[in-house]
Structure 1
């Protein structure tokens, strides 16, 4: 049910400070008219309240005003992301509620949407706004102007951060993405850690608590919160004693006056400032520190309900809450209540008086948990009502304060307060019970509230059809197990009757039973499983199970695990107890036998990376083995070879298993020696290419063995070796450490002058037209293991492959390569070219590695290049027959300026024509084999 705007004006300064209203109406509380109540009523009896303002438009009744003077209940409302979450602010926007906070170390504004009730869980994921102007932000407050929402947040200048103020503009809804505007630092020092926004008399103000200067600054925006501000906007400063660390301010408007609570963290200070003549005039300062008595005060929240004003203070650490309430004016001496709470590490609190109950929110800035503190200790049947003539009942004794706010159509309000008196001569029925076993006594203890001398009659109905009892605290025996509804009726001498109803679960016979799983061997883990039968009542929360394992050890777990360290017979007893106190026991014998004994001695020398054999020296009957290195199973052999990849200390374990499943574990740390690091380089002699100088660059070795790859060896540190023939030799160096561990390094070296020369002897197209054939020869003095073949038709790549075959010196091989283009497509490319290239080596004669053939009969001439030409022009052609080729160059007048006949038959053929003697201009090149000719335009330019 929504609270009217008028009542919010009455109760919450945090949300009403920016709305115009009749402030004086708050202090006019009618306590004489009353609600037409009888002198006293019975507990749990409905009381009809008479409305003294029937002509009003709306009415709001508050039946739990006294709950504000009781300890709150605390719950975890939500968990936020971020780092150092401070200064939560709960704000209502129409029917929507939002919770905001600052994340100081991530420079973010956090927004949580709670939907249509501040008590809801978040209705969507929290949103985090990171603006460039936010730099270590902390205090924030909100205000509304002409339907538009604004907030101001202070960057506190923590650890070198900015100390500026930032205005956030939300537009017409707090659900919008805000726009940030920097307002500058106003010339204030760092650590402005408290901030509140206030509207008074048509002007907007900001109150800033600064911990460095120990001052409260009043900053005036003027007629709009959107105005710019600077140092001249500070209209007054209120100074406090040095060392107080003034870091929080909360504003409360009451009876047309503005009050501010200012808190000093290190000085344990609580100041009340009374701006009786407005925020632009000096306030009266009251030091309430001794009266409140709070260490490290971190936040405050104030509200008025009827005649009383309430202020709640929280400590930053220490888990302390102080509740000060004032009988009339907030400047009067308060009554202070102290409560220990579980809320720690907070800065700032926020709140809302929702449907008659005050709820506060505070955030632990380290854990990011947001707590809700609800002052809901109320025994009324309803906390809140909007009916014009409601009814209410209370389950308690004594006086209860009721407040009603009536609102007229023009917004004018009338406030009424009256007390409902519950007759103290009444009795509030209540009881507890113990002993819930069938056939045993169930003892009922009368816990009713009130003076038992005022009792007229107790009536107990045990719910099993047995006669009622009029004893004060009777004893009853149930014959059958089951759930029974027990009712205690207390009738007082004044005629008031109350009842208490509770369900008693009577257990039937409990049967204790258990079994165990696992092999009953020494040092083997057994799992004991409860198989007991429970009746009606579950196991007792703390004493449900008690295991005696017969060896002096015990457990209270439902299904414990147990290891016996010695062979023998053990009597295991399980005792169970249900929630009603009923018990049963069972005992069983468990026989533990001795299993095999695992043992091994590690080898004297273990080298990194070298397999070494371990031998089991275990005793007893053994069916299986399990070897582990550093917890990883490596082998199931009896005497395995184990390899250690890293040096140092390693745990080797051997677990052995007997045929009946018993096992035993033996572990030992072994020292694995590291290997030498082996490395060498080689350089041919300057005078003899067959003589190689070797340079040992190893470390960790004390002896060395060289294998030169030609059957020769050496133990020198850095030897020289003369080879008889050139070639590639595999040279290996083995180094041995002082511990006796060896490692090797090998690489291939080239000895002497090595000529690698591949020749593409032939290229042709077989009749099938799907492949090309080549003959590749090795004209070098060293074998070739692989080479690449590329085929292009015209300018298109049609094959690219690596051939892995051994071609010894002087050997040739025919190779067939599949083509991606065949038939007409291949012919249209005019020519096919092939090239062979070594892999990872240079060819001594690369000019004989390419051939081209035409893909159709006759001559084909390539486009001359470059064209236009400068000093030379390259001519290339292919042909399928051995015919002479005539080349002629004509000028534009048809005169021959150059001609040549070529009788060589290289495929492809090419000739570089020197054009430096030719004048600049256009020429025509004609190439002919006597049967076919090609003509190309050629331009000479310089």
Structure 2
């Protein structure tokens, strides 16, 4: 056959049904050397997802504060919220100036990291509806961003619509007072399975919290309920967190300098029990609060209007309402403050507040330096990690059920200043019932012993051993070495082993076989698909192809030996089949002249051999049985002529 060319696309949970708690646990060594590969084993039951933190424990430390930005816009800003816009991979902060000068929505542009000093942007008073707003919260629904503002001066709730870009100026809608908002101050959003509930503190004459249930969308009209906080006065900030299948909140009582707890023991859809936190009571005009779970321990940070900040440490359970409190002071920054935000990025925590005296954004960082090779992981069993520096490290695992219930576990590991020997290994060959060769790789040169485990119960103390696997499969191979300084190290890797391929092929169903005729030999070998065998086709001892199937013509009219070899690293298998009789066949060939549209194209037959008949096909539907032929093409194009 020839070709003829004819020219022409912080979540919180509330539910009346309490979820089943995961039982979170993991195994890890308690001692290791610097640089040693550490493998943790997840033993959790009942979790659907996991959050590992290999450098946890920051919130138990005393933070340091520095000035992130200065601006005259930061005059009477009472709250601050931070969010990461995954659409643009940028961080933003928002606050609102309560002073009528006029009221302003203010944005902080951090860029791609909260460690950056942000620019401060005056967004003005969109739609001219901001009036002494105390707090706001941000919410992402689908790809669109929204905000809710407790608009204190008009006893109303405002809806901010940013569209898909949190860096845009929002459209503002006044949702009204719902007949229940009375000096709304603090606001908190809770979402479970796409169902949104909003909790707003009333700071007026009645100490209560209003709950707005928006359902599946923040754009829905909410259902309204409320519950009292007995003993409260001029409620301000509110924060909530989950322990297992039970939600727990803390709310600031500014009027009498107290902190009250909210225990949603029957789920967020029911009114909580409430009472005062009594283990620490030395607050001086508290205004805002943030909650965090770090290293399986619960913490609350409380901001005083006079600059001081307090930390409540609840330990592994917040619902028992017991703990310790500490006055962290004002970090040498300010004697006038209100805003407080706490954000976790990977393994690092950031705190933000606003110094109203000097009109500065204050960034708080925690002194823990993460020297783990991997800071966080969401895998069920993460890959190896190591610590570069000595000291006591804290590894934490949080298990999360499909219903959103959470459970955390932390364990300490002590890292010695002694350096672990480096170790790795390679393997060669992948065939069962044949030698698989392993080679240890080390550059420190101080290894005194090797202990191999091949994953099939076989072991070896040799430096570079071999192992024979009885069947194909995936095996976890581990090599533990010991150095002269007593440090160990471990290298692990999964090795895929395959059963030996069995070569086979089908002869063409031709009779007779002739020379000068292409025949297709179909590969019918059996093999493990992932083994990706290589192929060798040999004709009379000569390699003719490495394709899976063979297309081959016989050049001589003698008996032919066809051999197929199937190979994977470490083994091969072959089969031989013979064609005993091959008859001489014609050697087909032709030439053509002229290639113009609407003119005859002459085809000259130059075939040799004994011929009994001819069949021409011209690629345009026309045929001929003449020895030599011609054809007229009606259209310009390329035609396959046979």
TM-score (norm 2): 0.55
Conserved? CA contact 1:325–1:334, under 8 Å: yes
1:389 is matched with which residue? 384
1:272 is matched with which residue? 261
Query: CA offsets, 1:818-854, max 9 Å, x none?
Result: xxxxxxxxxxxxxxxxxxxxxxxxxxxxxxxxxxxxx
SS of 2:58's equivalent in the other structure is helix
1:187 is matched with which residue? 179
The 2-side partners of 1:73 and 1:272 are apart by 28
Conserved? CA contact 1:60–1:384, under 8 Å: no
2:95 is matched with which residue? 101
SS of 2:145's equivalent in the other structure is strand
Structure 1 residues 132 and 354 mapped into 2: Cα distance closer, same or farther (>3 Å)?
same
The 1-side partners of 2:197 and 2:400 are apart by 29
SS of 1:217's equivalent in the other structure is strand
Structure 1 residues 403 and 100 mapped into 2: Cα distance closer, same or farther (>3 Å)?
same
What is the CA distance between 1:100 and its match in structure 2?
0.6
- For residue 298 of structure 1, the aligned residue among 269, 278, 287 is 287
Conserved? CA contact 2:310–2:325, under 8 Å: no
1:121 is matched with which residue? 117
Conserved? CA contact 1:357–1:376, under 8 Å: no
Conserved? CA contact 1:63–1:380, under 8 Å: no
1:359 is matched with which residue? 350
What is the CA distance between 1:345 and its match in structure 2?
2.3
State the number of aligned residues.
397
1:599 is matched with which residue? none
What is the CA distance between 1:129 and its match in structure 2?
4.6
- Residues 889-904 of structure 1: matches in 2 within 5 Å? none
Q: Which runs of 5+ in 2 are unaligned?
A: 1-9, 419-484, 488-642
The 1-side partners of 2:413 and 2:208 are apart by 46
Conserved? CA contact 1:192–1:210, under 8 Å: yes
1:250 is matched with which residue? 239
Query: CA offsets, 1:210-255, max 9 Å, x none?
Result: 22122222223344211235xxx4312213336x221221222332
2:152 is matched with which residue? 156
1:236 is matched with which residue? 226
- For residue 395 of structure 2, the aligned residue among 367, 390, 402 is 402
- For residue 40 of structure 1, the aligned residue among 31, 36, 49 is 31
- For residue 221 of structure 1, the aligned residue among 214, 226, 230 is 214
1:855 is matched with which residue? none
Q: Which runs of 5+ in 1 are unaligned?
A: 1-14, 428-493, 497-942
Query: CA offsets, 1:471-505, max 9 Å, x none?
Result: xxxxxxxxxxxxxxxxxxxxxxx999xxxxxxxxx
The 1-side partners of 2:400 and 2:234 are apart by 43
1:931 is matched with which residue? none
Structure 1 residues 278 and 88 mapped into 2: Cα distance closer, same or farther (>3 Å)?
same
Conserved? CA contact 2:243–2:407, under 8 Å: no
- For residue 166 of structure 2, the aligned residue among 174, 180, 191 is 174
SS of 1:206's equivalent in the other structure is strand
The 1-side partners of 2:372 and 2:146 are apart by 40
Query: CA offsets, 1:675-717, max 9 Å, x none?
Result: xxxxxxxxxxxxxxxxxxxxxxxxxxxxxxxxxxxxxxxxxxx
1:322 is matched with which residue? 311
Conserved? CA contact 2:257–2:286, under 8 Å: yes
Structure 1 residues 332 and 190 mapped into 2: Cα distance closer, same or farther (>3 Å)?
closer
Query: CA offsets, 1:296-354, max 9 Å, x none?
Result: 22222112234322222222215232232322344341233332233542223112111
The 2-side partners of 1:49 and 1:263 are apart by 43
Conserved? CA contact 2:79–2:134, under 8 Å: yes
SS of 2:57's equivalent in the other structure is helix
What is the CA distance between 1:288 and its match in structure 2?
0.4
Conserved? CA contact 2:19–2:403, under 8 Å: no
Matched, 1:142 2:158: no
Matched, 1:91 2:86: no
1:338 is matched with which residue? 327
SS of 2:59's equivalent in the other structure is helix
The 2-side partners of 1:224 and 1:390 are apart by 41
What is the CA distance between 1:264 and its match in structure 2?
0.9
The 2-side partners of 1:190 and 1:74 are apart by 35
Conserved? CA contact 1:25–1:413, under 8 Å: no
Structure 1 residues 136 and 385 mapped into 2: Cα distance closer, same or farther (>3 Å)?
closer
The 2-side partners of 1:410 and 1:219 are apart by 22
The 2-side partners of 1:165 and 1:147 are apart by 23
What is the CA distance between 1:74 and its match in structure 2?
0.7
The 1-side partners of 2:121 and 2:57 are apart by 36
Conserved? CA contact 1:292–1:324, under 8 Å: no
The 1-side partners of 2:22 and 2:289 are apart by 22
Structure 1 residues 339 and 48 mapped into 2: Cα distance closer, same or farther (>3 Å)?
same
What is the CA distance between 1:155 and its match in structure 2?
1.9
1:74 is matched with which residue? 65
SS of 2:280's equivalent in the other structure is helix
Conserved? CA contact 2:240–2:248, under 8 Å: yes
Which structure is richer in relative contact order (CA contacts within 8 A, separation 6 or more)? Answer: 2
Structure 1 residues 377 and 360 mapped into 2: Cα distance closer, same or farther (>3 Å)?
same
- Residues 536-615 of structure 1: matches in 2 within 5 Å? none
Structure 1 residues 419 and 127 mapped into 2: Cα distance closer, same or farther (>3 Å)?
same
What is the CA distance between 1:126 and its match in structure 2?
5.4
The 2-side partners of 1:240 and 1:410 are apart by 31
The 2-side partners of 1:112 and 1:290 are apart by 36
The 1-side partners of 2:37 and 2:352 are apart by 35
- For residue 198 of structure 2, the aligned residue among 200, 206, 210 is 206
- Residues 769-848 of structure 1: matches in 2 within 5 Å? none
What is the CA distance between 1:262 and its match in structure 2?
0.7
- For residue 419 of structure 1, the aligned residue among 412, 415, 435 is 412
Matched, 1:308 2:297: yes
SS of 2:128's equivalent in the other structure is coil
Matched, 1:50 2:45: no
The 2-side partners of 1:236 and 1:302 are apart by 22
What is the CA distance between 1:53 and its match in structure 2?
5.0
The 2-side partners of 1:401 and 1:376 are apart by 14
